[in-house]
Structure 1
């Protein structure tokens, strides 16, 4: 490849650029945000919400950016291990796992370090601007028209140009315009699967001292005992992040979505598990409460198309965006970037339709989609579609979640799936289901 273009300079776009730097002479990352402001523009309104980097996502980051853990920890991030990573179900703390390992930092902080690494690559450059469509020759995408923004001392002016491309990566996120662009050029848009979840969540920062010396991450969720409703404990999480802060997120569905009022936010924290109550009672809130409304999970099924232009792939939320309460988004983007790397390493020509890549990405997305949407169906306002065998799947899931609170073997297997280290089908092993069925709470 001579020229590759990445549309979007957020988490997924940065990973795509890193992958493409091994295969293209010139990689251009185009982003609507001015990256000199650390990417804090309107392009990703949920960027300041607390994000989880699951274990598999952490592993992929180390693969593409060796030493990123040590680098970010030295700059203020924390690495939670063993009992420092705590999960609660229905207000009860689950058995600790010695192998637990999670990097704890805010998304802007993490993206800032990845962006610096990518900017240091000699064949990658960044352009502040907006793509306005795709150019093709009837067989493949040949380029992208761009409107660039150049800050001037007293004004901002724009200039139009066209960039040639052997491969274009759509990493524009949930707001991707790829479907419309394809239709404008005579191609079909990929069909979209949707599930309305109507989730709201809110994040606030607090000063961090020595009030929770053994905690880096604490996560609380409703479970089978409360029928997955916030009756026994408020759903939420906290993470020790850079700048000696706690980042706290609270979540709720439909009319129970958290608002931006600080007093209400603190009141909900005090109905949550002990670590969040401690922070609410002893730490000062810093800044405002930021809210975000996630209406629906969606995935674009590229593999269901019968024709598709060469020189084009999609990655991250441009392919699928699932309920963020499960923390899969960043890890899905990392796994799709690695899928793109495998696709290119097979010798696939960038001008040919990337069917092999989309099949690989669909395997990753399918596992996350099935797990998230099956869990979402436990909410009474989520009306489907229900997959075949849902009642049996729901019963088995309830047994596993309940047993994972006290049974380390079951919890380890369950967390491997939650962290995307293992496929959900591993939870159907008869020995694991038997162990879950025989588990009883300690007296």
Structure 2
């Protein structure tokens, strides 16, 4: 194709631009914010929160941007594996698992390196413009109406393919309706999650620890009021990035003393950082009201020349750290579609079927745990009681058995589909482990 346009230049948009650079003569990324390496200039407050790059996300990052892991490490991002990565459930350190690697880095730092790689491509350019609407040519999208950051209407840029990477607040549905197209069905799960992130000076207080993650589980009824939910990551600049999370009335606030007090009720790594490290700057909070996913593959009619990636397609509970990895896997789906489609001008239903299968797997992981919260009222999947009972059993066994935890962590890291946890081998081993205990 002659030109592709990506509406949105954050993580998902940058991945999409990298994929499209192999298929289009020119790729134009529309991003109204002038974003610095520290995230200043972005109107997306969640960029300042701690983000996880799961093992699959790191693998995909290296696939599309070769040698970037070493580049990030050289720039100060710690890389951990084995005992450097610790997961706690109900206050107990889970059984050790070898193999999976996780990178400690803030999202602005990570995006800055991706943006540098993407803009170094000869056929990609980023314009400080925002998308203001779509242009149609019959039954296909043929371009984007642009606007300046202040909202002033700009020019129309023609395109063979347009990618919506505008996030969960994307206006695509209303734009489609303006031109007589049906919008996608949207599933929502209201979870009323709040989380807060703070930075701390980092020394040798935790040895080689890169990631420590703590969550409530079956023993506490999944109630974060009984076991504080939180995580820390060693990040660039010799800092710890610490996030605390809570639902409904237990959401964390911006008060630094209250933040430190909650860290003191968490697992040992977070207590040590609270006791030994100085906080840098303010506590930053974010409210995540509901997870949502949009289903395009079920539409009877959809215009050609249009795809959707990132949170604009599916936005799940950020506690599970799936967002960045999900965006990378959707980029894989886009590449697979462009390789196999008869024409990129036709409706991209092949892409949506692939991407929604990936999104559904992420939704399944997060929603089963979300539904354990007493204030979350559904919708419940068919067979939820049995699914929940098996999930509790496997989670409990994963704390004490490395074999079960190996599969469990592969699912958490999105290396395996959630169905792996319900295989006869895993269920059988979990039963034997718990009976022996």
Which category describes the TM-score, using the shorter chain as reference length?
over 0.9
Q: Any gaps of 5 or more consecutive residues in structure 1?
A: 150-155
1:377 has 2:356 as partner: no
Q: Aligned with 2:108: secondary structure?
A: helix
1:266 has 2:243 as partner: no
User: Would you say the 8 A contact 1:270–1:277 is kept in 2?
Assistant: yes
Q: How many residues align?
A: 437
Deviates more, 1:134-143 or 1:433-442: 433-442
Q: How does 1:8-27 map to 2 (within 5 A)?
A: 8-27=8-27
1:393-430: CA deviation from partner (whole Å, max 9, x where unpaired): 00000000000001000000001111111111111111
Alignment partner, residue 429 of structure 1: 423
Alignment partner, residue 321 of structure 2: 327
User: Would you say the 8 A contact 2:200–2:240 is kept in 1?
Assistant: yes
Instruction: Give the TM-score normalised by structure 2.
Output: 0.98
Alignment partner, residue 41 of structure 1: 41
User: Would you say the 8 A contact 1:33–1:39 is kept in 2?
Assistant: no
In structure 1, distance between residues paired with 2:220 and 2:349: 44
User: Would you say the 8 A contact 2:225–2:250 is kept in 1?
Assistant: no
1:312 has 2:300 as partner: no
Q: Aligned with 1:24: secondary structure?
A: coil
Q: Aligned with 1:427: secondary structure?
A: helix
Alignment partner, residue 301 of structure 1: 295
Alignment partner, residue 188 of structure 1: 182
User: Would you say the 8 A contact 1:406–1:441 is kept in 2?
Assistant: no
In structure 2, distance between residues paired with 1:441 and 1:208: 42
User: Would you say the 8 A contact 2:37–2:112 is kept in 1?
Assistant: no
Alignment partner, residue 403 of structure 1: 397
Deviating runs (4+, > 4 A) in structure 1? Answer: 36-39, 156-159, 440-443
TM-aligned CA deviation for residue 273 of structure 1: 0.3
In structure 2, distance between residues paired with 1:439 and 1:110: 40
TM-aligned CA deviation for residue 136 of structure 1: 0.2
Alignment partner, residue 291 of structure 1: 285
User: Would you say the 8 A contact 2:197–2:284 is kept in 1?
Assistant: yes
Q: Aligned with 1:294: secondary structure?
A: strand
1:342-384: CA deviation from partner (whole Å, max 9, x where unpaired): 1001143121100100000011011111121111100000001
Q: Any gaps of 5 or more consecutive residues in structure 2?
A: none
Deviates more, 1:256-265 or 1:209-218: 209-218
Instruction: Give the TM-score normalised by structure 1.
Output: 0.96
User: Would you say the 8 A contact 1:142–1:311 is kept in 2?
Assistant: yes
User: Would you say the 8 A contact 2:37–2:109 is kept in 1?
Assistant: no
Q: Which of residues 237, 243, 248 in structure 2 aligns to 1:243? A: 237
In structure 2, distance between residues paired with 1:9 and 1:38: 15
Root mean square deviation of aligned Cα: 1.5
TM-aligned CA deviation for residue 162 of structure 1: 0.8
Q: Aligned with 1:229: secondary structure?
A: coil
Alignment partner, residue 210 of structure 2: 216
Alignment partner, residue 2 of structure 1: 2
TM-aligned CA deviation for residue 43 of structure 1: 3.4
In structure 1, distance between residues paired with 2:341 and 2:380: 40
Alignment partner, residue 30 of structure 1: 30
In structure 1, distance between residues paired with 2:416 and 2:75: 31
In structure 2, distance between residues paired with 1:289 and 1:35: 21
**Closer, same or farther: CA 43–167 of 1 in aligned 2, 3 Å:** farther
In structure 2, distance between residues paired with 1:441 and 1:97: 22
Alignment partner, residue 200 of structure 2: 206
In structure 2, distance between residues paired with 1:379 and 1:27: 44
Alignment partner, residue 117 of structure 1: 117
**Closer, same or farther: CA 117–42 of 1 in aligned 2, 3 Å:** closer
